[in-house]
Amino acid sequence: MQTIRKPFDAVFFDFGGVITSSPFDAFAAYEERAGLASSTIRTINATNPDVNAWARLERNQLSLSQFIPEFEKEAAELGFQVDAREVLGCLSGSLRPTMVEFVQRCAAHYQVALLTNNVADHVMNSERDGEEVAQLLGCFSAVIESSKVGKRKPDPEFYELACTTLGVEPTRVVFLDDLGINLKPARAMGMTTIKVEDPAAAIRAASRLLFAD
């Protein structure tokens, strides 16, 4: 009897904005409280995106104490007055139960990896949902954190590291992320990508690929 090979070997998940609520929602709430224009934080982070304070923080090239004045200085140069501590507080989202269940389902049939741009000792050690996060992390074959590997999405080397760690080819991977800028290089490498805007819709799309009869 001939064995039919599944089209995929692994599923890669982003963390914030996919498995947890989006930090951009929290940024928007902060901007409203602070009287800032909509998308102010996104604008700051999009300026010199490979070398700005945010990028260096996520690569663990700046400590939190170094980041705060650097980020506030960059914001001021763009005409914004921000509280970097409050901005950092926006990073701890709430777990999405349906996405957690989907990760667990995928882990029963595929290798799964978590690919996250994060801040050292912040996202993975958040007190919020701490026990649930710890249990969830046990589902993953690999956890690739920008703050530990010194690279971050959308650097193709970040994705290459994830594939090498799991021993899979990019063409055999489904990748879920909420940012198109992160999906574009992964797609160019051959991954099948799903942009997570509506979590339920993203789960349906991924299920059609991964669990088709």
Residue 1 lies in a domain: no
CATH number at residue 133: 3.40.50.1000
Q: Is 33 found in the same domain as 131? A: no
CATH (domain of 68) = 1.10.150
Strand, coil or helix: 34: helix
- Counted domains in the chain: 2
Which of these three, 37, 60, 89, is where a domain ends? 89
Please indicate, yes or no, if residue 4 is contained in any of the structural domains.
Answer: no
What range defines the domain where residue 162 resides?
A: 10-21+93-210
The pTM assigned to this predicted structure is 0.90
Q: What is the pLDDT along the chain (213 residues), one digit of tens a residue?
A: 444 568 999 999 999 999 999 999 999 999 999 999 999 999 999 999 999 999 999 999 999 999 999 999 999 999 999 999 999 999 988 999 999 999 999 999 999 999 999 998 664 544 456 788 889 999 999 999 999 999 999 999 999 999 999 999 999 999 999 999 999 999 999 999 999 999 999 999 999 999 986
DSSP percent split of the chain into helix, strand, coil, nearest 5: 50, 10, 40
Q: Which residue has the tokens 């904005």?
A: 17
Same domain, yes or no: 34 and 131: no
Q: Which residue, 89, 114, 142, sits at the end of a domain? A: 89
Q: In the β-sheet with 111-116, what is the strand arrangement from edge to edge?
A: 142-145, 111-116, 10-13, 173-177, 192-195
Q: Where are the alpha helices (DSSP H) in 108-177?
A: 130-137, 146-149, 156-166
Question: Do the domain assignments include residue 121?
Answer: yes
Q: Are 154 and 45 in contact (CB under 8 A)?
A: no
Which of 33, 68, 89 lies at the terminal end of a domain, its last residue? 89
Beta-strand (E) ranges in the chain?
A: 10-13, 111-116, 142-145, 173-177, 192-195
